[in-house]
Amino acid sequence: MDRVLRDRRAILVFIGPALLLYTLVLLIPIVWSVGYTFFEGSPVSGFRFNGITNYVELVGDAKFWQALWFSTQYAAVVTSGQVVLGLLLALLFHFYLKRGSSIVRTLVFFPVVLPTVAVAAIFSKLFAIAPQYGLVNALIDLFMGKEAVVSWLGRGGSAFWVIAIMDIWRAMGFYAVILYAGLLDIPSDVLEAASLDGAKGWRLVQFIIIPLILPILISSLIFSLNGTLKVFDSIVALTNGGPGSATTPLTLYMYRSAFTNNAYGYGSTVAVMLAIYCLIVSLVAYRVTRNNA
């Protein structure tokens, strides 16, 4: 093995194909996207160099800041829900459902493998107001009367929470399984010793379990943050960014700028800002969680 590791040709043979694929699939598109930010136009109308005009326009674009604020709110709410509920489910599997946990884990994980369009259709029916009430509005009508019925997807505030609940429900099983695997790696004698010393309930979780699974917890947090900041399919399938632009994230705003308005340069500028924002948020989340550990 040492002889192979010292052979540069052997190293090139092993990592060359993967490096080439990585360059073609990721690095070249990134370079192109950054280059497009200094141009205006599209492949149909042609490109014209405009310097930093796209960046200047972005700073004064109210729709961009609205989309950024929505993405930030969405990421904060959904990431918290996914990771916290995932941790609670993992603790439930590990301590209270040892016999039937495999069945429950399968049921909880099932939404993860469902197509996004199918999940959006389910939630659209659950919260429907026309042509007939969905389950949620039917229950509200039954117990509170018709005047309390809400057009959940017709208002920006309520549509936000419907999307958040849907995406939390979809992904919490994924994080539950990951964190459950981390709990299984904790030595049983450590938990027994902590229990004998009086650490039970929340104290056991706070001072023993969370510190021991912290690397997995931080990875889950960063993974969820990146996924929620780049949300696209679930919002397009459920609200398409509406009502108006109330539930339009940066990804959808980027798509519409580039492919609906044929402003490839401006869409690429939004994409670059989104990538930088994801990087900053991930680094801040990592530093904060590590410093508070």
68: closest CA among 245, 291, 218, 211?
Answer: 245
Is the alpha carbon torsion for 171, 176, 179, 184 positive or negative? Answer: negative
Please report which confidence band the pLDDT of residue 293 belongs to, taking 50, 70 and 90 as the band edges.
low
State which CATH number among 1.20.1300.10, 1.20.120.420, 1.10.3720.10, 3.40.50.300 fits the domain covering 62-291. 1.10.3720.10
Burial profile 216-250: b = 16 or more Cβ within 10 angstroms, e = fewer? bbbebbbbbbbbbbebeebbbbbbebeeeebbbbb
- The confidence score (pLDDT) of residue 247 equals 96
Q: What is the mean pLDDT of residues 274-293?
A: 85
177: closest CA among 229, 80, 112?
Answer: 112
List CB contacts of 81: < 8 A, sequence separation 6 or more: 164, 168, 172
On average, the pLDDT of the chain sits at: 89
Which residue type is seen at 160?
Answer: F
Question: How many Cα atoms are found within 13 Å in the side-chain-facing hemisphere of 144?
Answer: 9
- The confidence score (pLDDT) of residue 175 equals 96
DSSP 37: T
Q: Where is 42: in which H helix or E strand?
A: strand 39-42
Q: What is the mean pLDDT of residues 234-258?
A: 95
pLDDT at residue 150 tops 70: yes
User: Which ranges of 2-100 would DSSP assign to H, the alpha helix?
Assistant: 2-6, 8-22, 28-36, 53-59, 62-95
- The confidence score (pLDDT) of residue 202 equals 83
Contact assessment for residue 152 and residue 164, using Cβ atoms and an 8 Å cutoff? no
- The confidence score (pLDDT) of residue 1 equals 54
The share of the chain scoring above pLDDT 70, in percent, equals 96
Please report which confidence band the pLDDT of residue 6 belongs to, taking 50, 70 and 90 as the band edges.
low
- The confidence score (pLDDT) of residue 239 equals 95
40: β partners: 48
List CB contacts of 50: < 8 A, sequence separation 6 or more: 38, 39, 40, 265
Q: What is the mean pLDDT of residues 124-147?
A: 92
Domain ranges of the chain: 62-291
Please report which confidence band the pLDDT of residue 66 belongs to, taking 50, 70 and 90 as the band edges.
very high
42: β partners: 46
pLDDT at residue 215 tops 70: yes
The share of the chain scoring above pLDDT 90, in percent, equals 62
Residue at token pair 């947090």: 221
Contact assessment for residue 136 and residue 77, using Cβ atoms and an 8 Å cutoff? no
Please report which confidence band the pLDDT of residue 42 belongs to, taking 50, 70 and 90 as the band edges.
confident
For residue 258, count CB atoms less than 10 angstroms from its CB and return exposed for 0-12, middle for 13-18, buried for 19 or more. buried
